[in-house]
């Protein structure tokens, strides 16, 4: 069985748009903060074995750390150096950024997995 290699840009673009990395026709999410089991259009399996999405959590943690560092750097460059407001800002970024980036971290993790080893197909006899 031969499969054509997926385009890196197209696959990552689908990941950024929260679409299925295989076909791009359906959303990865069923509801906010809930990943579909599989793609309703092409049957690509999104929810795989336990622990599969540790990588998505890692992406979210690393990008949150980068956002906190960038916020601190911008604050120190642009503000007058008020340390009290800096801590408030960083606390807000550290609290809100992971929630705002949650969907993209999962979608980008799926896109990366599809680029590396292809997402498996959901078989109807599998649950659910």
Give the binding site for Zn ion (CB under 5 A): 20, 22-23, 39, 41-42, 44
* Cβ-based nearer residue to Zn ion, 42 or 90: 42
Cα–Cα distances (Å) from 56 to 19, 26, 35, 93, 110, in that order, read: 15, 19, 12, 19, 8
Whole-number minimum distance, CB 26 to Zn ion, in Å? Answer: 5
Whole-number minimum distance, CB 50 to Zn ion, in Å? Answer: 23
* Cβ-based nearer residue to Zn ion, 23 or 54: 23
Per the rule left: phi > 0, alpha: psi between -120 and 50, beta: everything else, 18 is: left
* Cβ-based nearer residue to Zn ion, 39 or 45: 39
| Burial of 84 from C-beta contacts in 10 A (0-12 / 13-18 / 19+) | exposed
* Cβ-based nearer residue to Zn ion, 56 or 93: 56
Whole-number minimum distance, CB 63 to Zn ion, in Å? Answer: 25
E strand or H helix at 34: strand 34-35
């Amino acid at each position: 069985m031969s499969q054509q290699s997926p385009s890196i840009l197209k696959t990552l673009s689908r990941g950024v748009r929260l679409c299925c990395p295989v076909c791009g026709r359906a959303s990865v999410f069923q509801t906010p903060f809930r990943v579909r089991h599989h793609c309703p259009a092409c049957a690509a399996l999104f929810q795989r074995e336990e622990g599969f999405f540790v990588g998505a959590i890692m992406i979210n943690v690393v990008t949150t750390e980068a956002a906190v560092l960038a916020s601190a750097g911008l604050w120190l460059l642009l503000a007058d150096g008020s340390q009290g407001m800096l801590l408030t800002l960083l606390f807000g970024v550290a609290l809100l950024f992971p929630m705002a980036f949650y969907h993209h971290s999962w979608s980008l993790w799926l896109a990366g997995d599809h680029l590396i080893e292809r997402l498996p197909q959901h078989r109807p006899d599998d649950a659910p």
